[in-house]
Amino acid sequence: MEDNKDMPEDTSDVCCCCKKTERSEEERRKLINRLNRIEGQIRGIRGMLERDAYCNDILIQSAAVNAAVNSFNKELLSSHIHTCVVRDIREGKDEVVDELVATIQKLMK
């Protein structure tokens, strides 16, 4: 078995199907709209590559995608803290703080 440093030793806390977050229809729509714009930007970059666009132009568009993803992450993180984290702390589930710290560390890589 290969040693993979990117994989957590205990994968029981990374299951995406165990926890859910209920969002308002407006919040869901805003997040999906952001992702749709990012997806369009990615398709645009692929098109630039297919047309042999100048490297610097592609890099600038790539930087714009990174900024858009970071903006999406900030929005979602803020919502997560105000809803899920606050709720769990109020319910005495202090382990959510460790989860939040780990998430922030991943976002800051």
Cβ atoms of 58 and 99 within 8 Å: the answer is: no
pLDDT tens-digit map of 43-83: 999 999 999 999 999 999 999 999 999 999 999 999 999 99
Taking residues 15-33, what's their average pLDDT?
86
Q: Indicate if the pLDDT at residue 7 is higher than 50.
A: no
Cβ atoms of 45 and 61 within 8 Å: the answer is: yes
Distance of CA 52 to the CA centre of its chain: 30
Angstrom distance (rounded) from CA 47 to CA 50: 5
Q: Residue 38 has which token pair?
A: 């990012």
Angstrom distance (rounded) from CA 46 to CA 52: 10
Q: Residue 64 has which token pair?
A: 């714009």
pTM of the model: 0.78
Question: Which pLDDT band, with edges at 50, 70 and 90, does 18 fall under?
Answer: confident
Q: Indicate if the pLDDT at residue 3 is higher than 60.
A: no
